[in-house]
């Protein structure tokens, strides 16, 4: 096991974020489990604590600058300076372009792009001071283009540019920044998509699996495993990369 650090995982009440928070705790880090409501983080925190890990529930909307700054300062005071950040919080507001509202667009940009910007700006000063840091941003195969997701695919492609620029600006301080672009992962997000298009969850997963080279859908742990590597000591020469974790080369 590597050195113990303080990690922040946004959107960690459930899904990929919850699995990632649990994995980073197993890796020996103290983990701030951040989501919209502090109370929604209780399950993830309990699971980590039961496994002998150390976690703190933090409520904050990542698109709200004041809330983000207050949250990161509280984390630094309670757990210590955060030097690992996983920008995972996300939402979808899918619609074909001609039906997409300004609110659909702004909400998705606000959480993914503004949220990752605000969290990273607040956390990087602790990483710079420590001369060590690991930033992982959650992109998506949708960055390559996906019907009904003009807002989401734009945000996820934007996060790839954000990641590359972070790696360029922060590398000299011992900080790496990488993006993970998941394909189909079985979570509440994809379950909601199945519901929206009127397909049963089982059929939806089977249909997706048939299109994926490894013939299965992804699980949150598939992403958590990749985050674990990208936040480890050993990954220090990997930066500015986008890793597609999608059971194949890119498209799911
Ligand atoms: N599930 C997939 O197939 C898939 C594929 C590619 C990328 N992703 C990305 O992975 C990340 C996690 O997805 P998931 O499937 O676990 O989703 P999910 O909907 O299960 O969980 C997302 C979490 O983010 C939180 N969140 C939303 N807005 C927030 C805000 N403003 N501030 C703080 N927290 C907020 C939610 O409350 C929720 O707990 C997202 O960025 C998503 O876009 C998911």
Radius of gyration of the chain (CA): 17
Structurally, the chain folds into a number of domains equal to: 2
Q: Assess whether 106 and 165 both reside in one domain.
A: yes
Candidate list 105, 117, 132, 152, residue with the active-site label: 152
Tell me how far apart the alpha carbons of residues 144 and 140 are, in angstroms, rounded to a whole number: 8
Residue 67: pLDDT band (50, 70, 90) is: very high
- For the question of residue 244 being annotated catalytic, the response is no
**Residue 252 placed within a domain:** no
Angle at which helix 102-109 crosses helix 150-170, to 10 degrees, equals 30
- Range 59-63 average pLDDT: 99
The yes-or-no verdict on residue 252 having pLDDT over 60 is no
Q: Assess whether 141 and 210 both reside in one domain.
A: no
Q: Assess whether 199 and 239 both reside in one domain.
A: no
10 lines ligand 1 (CB under 6 A): yes
Are 94 and 190 contacting, i.e. CB atoms less than 8 angstroms apart?
no
Instruction: Specify the pLDDT at position 1.
Output: 65
16 lines ligand 1 (CB under 6 A): yes
Of 44 and 251, the structure prediction assigns the larger pLDDT to 44
Residue nearest to atom 40 of ligand 1 (CA): 90
Residue 251: pLDDT band (50, 70, 90) is: low
17 lines ligand 1 (CB under 6 A): yes
Tell me how far apart the alpha carbons of residues 208 and 146 are, in angstroms, rounded to a whole number: 14
94 lines ligand 1 (CB under 6 A): no
Q: Assess whether 98 and 178 both reside in one domain.
A: yes
Sign of CA dihedral 93, 99, 103, 105: positive
Q: Percentage of the chain with pLDDT > 90?
A: 98
**Structure confidence by residue, pLDDT tens digits, 225-236:** 999 999 999 999
Q: Give the mean pLDDT of the chain.
A: 97
Are 170 and 134 contacting, i.e. CB atoms less than 8 angstroms apart?
no
**Residue 250 placed within a domain:** no
**Structure confidence by residue, pLDDT tens digits, 149-183:** 999 999 999 999 999 999 999 999 999 999 999 99
Could you give the 3-state DSSP secondary structure of residue 82? coil
- Lowest-pLDDT choice from 2-6, 94-98, 100-104, 117-121: 2-6
**Residue 67 placed within a domain:** yes
Q: How far is the CA of 163 from the centre of ligand 1 (A)?
A: 18
HSE-CB for 210 with a 13 A CA cutoff: 6
**Structure confidence by residue, pLDDT tens digits, 184-225:** 999 999 999 999 999 999 999 999 999 999 999 999 999 999
Q: Assess whether 42 and 70 both reside in one domain.
A: yes
Q: How far is the CA of 172 from the centre of ligand 1 (A)?
A: 30
Instruction: Specify the pLDDT at position 250.
Output: 76
Q: How far is the CA of 11 from the centre of ligand 1 (A)?
A: 6
Q: How far is the CA of 48 from the centre of ligand 1 (A)?
A: 19
Phi, psi of 248, deg, nearest 5: 180, -170
Tokens 């945000």 belong to residue? 155
Could you give the 3-state DSSP secondary structure of residue 72? helix
């Amino acid at each position: 096991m590597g050195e113990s650090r303080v990690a922040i995982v946004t959107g960690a009440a459930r899904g990929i974020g919850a699995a990632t928070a649990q994995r980073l705790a197993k890796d020996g880090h103290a983990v701030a489990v951040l989501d919209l409501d502090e109370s929604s983080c209780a399950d993830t925190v309990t699971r980590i604590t039961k496994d002998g890990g150390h976690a703190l529930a933090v409520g904050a909307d990542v698109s709200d600058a004041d809330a983000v700054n207050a949250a990161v300062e509280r984390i630094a005071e309670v757990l210590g300076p955060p030097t690992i950040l996983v920008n995972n919080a996300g939402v979808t507001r899918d619609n074909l372009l001609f039906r997409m509202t300004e609110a659909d667009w702004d909400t998705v940009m606000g959480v993914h792009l503004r949220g990752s910007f605000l969290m990273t700006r607040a956390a990087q000063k602790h990483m710079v001071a420590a001369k060590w840091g690991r930033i992982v941003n959650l992109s998506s195969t949708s960055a390559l283009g996906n019907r009904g997701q003009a807002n989401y695919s734009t945000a996820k492609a934007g996060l790839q540019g954000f990641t590359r620029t972070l790696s360029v600006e922060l590398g000299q301080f011992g900080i790496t920044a990488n993006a993970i672009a998941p394909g189909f992962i079985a979570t509440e997000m994809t379950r909601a998509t199945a519901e929206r298009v009127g397909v049963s969850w089982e059929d939806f997963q089977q249909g997706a699996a048939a299109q994926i080279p490894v013939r299965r859908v992804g699980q949150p742990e598939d992403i958590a495993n990749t985050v674990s590597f990208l936040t480890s000591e050993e990954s220090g020469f990997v930066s500015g990369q986008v890793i597609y974790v999608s059971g194949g080369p890119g498209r799911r």
